[in-house]
Amino acid sequence: MLLFVGLGNPGQKYENNRHNIGFMAVDDIVHRHNFSPWRSRFQGKTSDGRIGTEKVLILKPETYMNESGRAVGEAIRFFKINPEDVFVFYDELDLAPGKLRIKKAGGSGGHNGIKSIDAHIGKEYWRLRMGIGHPGHKERVTGHVLGDFSKTDQDWLSKEIDAISRHIDLLVKGDSPGFMSKVAQDITPPKSKKIPAQKASSASTTRDQNTLKTAKPETSKADSDIKNSNDGWQSTLANWFSNSKTPQD
């Protein structure tokens, strides 16, 4: 069994906060993959189901962010889940909005939810860091993190949440590079070819070909003069022979 943990704060007040992007990610997985209804357990809410052939338990701690580790610790002890089978989805200030990074173990980066989980289960679990961007000044961090996503955020945010749940099977299979690549492609699709420019080039080529087919060779004035001159010389010579008299005449 795998354990997916979405981090956030419980309650309607925090529902659309940037700090709750982890909740948003696991909510969409539950919805897309038809997991069981949420129920209260392990100091949080859980839902379970299958992705491919793998059974997955999803947990949203309700201990508030700073005590997230308590709920995660209870869940893994109950199901005897190894830390390396735990995947935590959470917000990351040091990544640009819409960027996703995955790593196993490492530091907390100052994230209080991750600090708490480290304290309860160790560091050997997977971290899915979802970028929310940095406000630029340290004193503005709290307001930024606990502020709601803006209207301008909705485009990349909806694409990222959808892409994560759409391609989550790759992560379950152990293909984290493939998973990150697919998510990135869905958020920022490859640029399409410049068809108008190709059409213009094609039209230009066609015009050139048609011009070559229909154009008549131009005769220069010099060529014309030479031709007329040659005709005059031949005519003069013919007249001379016809009018000349031999000595016998």
b/e per residue 237-247 (b: at least 16 CB within 10 A): eeeeeeeeeee
In angstroms, the Cα distances linking 183 to 87, 155, 171, 186, 224 are 16, 14, 11, 5, 72
What is the amino acid identity at position 17?
Answer: N
Asked about 120 being catalytic, the answer comes back as no
In angstroms, the Cα distances linking 204 to 39, 192, 199, 207, 211 are 66, 22, 8, 5, 11
Sheet holding 86-92, edge to edge: 39-41, 44-51, 54-61, 2-6, 86-92, 126-131, 100-104
Rounded CA separation 23/35 (Å): 15
CA torsion 96-16-114-101 (nearest 10°) is -30
The residues carrying an active-site annotation are: 19
